Amino acid sequence: MKQSFISKLKKIQRKTNSLLCIGLDTDVLKVPEFLFKYEDPQYEFNRRIIDATKDLVCAYKINTAFYEAVGEHCWYTVHHTLARIPEEIITIGDGKRGDIGNSAEKQAHQFCFDWEFAATTVNPYMGKEAVEPFLQRRDQCAFVLAVTSNKSAKDFQYLNVKGKPLYEHVVAQAKKWNTKKNVGLVVGATKPEELKRIRKIVPDMPLLIPGIGAQKGDLESTVRYGCDKHGELAIINIGRGIIYSSEGDNFAERAREAAIKYRDQINAYREQYF
Of 192, 204, 198, 210, nearest in space to 171 by CA: 198
Of 11, 30, 96, 196, catalytic: 96
Secondary structure of residue 234 in the 3-state scheme: strand
- Parallel/antiparallel/unpaired status of strands 183-187 and 207-209: parallel
Report the distance separating Cα 26 and Cα 68, nearest Å. 11
**For the chain, what is the total number of helices (H) and then of strands (E)?**
11, 10
Neighbours of 219 (CB within 10 A): 20
Judge whether 191 counts as a catalytic residue.
Answer: no
The residue ranges of DSSP E strands in the chain, in sequence order, are 20-23, 59-63, 90-97, 119-122, 141-147, 160-161, 164-165, 183-187, 207-209, 234-238
Partnered with residue 236 across adjacent β-strands are: 20, 209
Residues classed as catalytic: 96
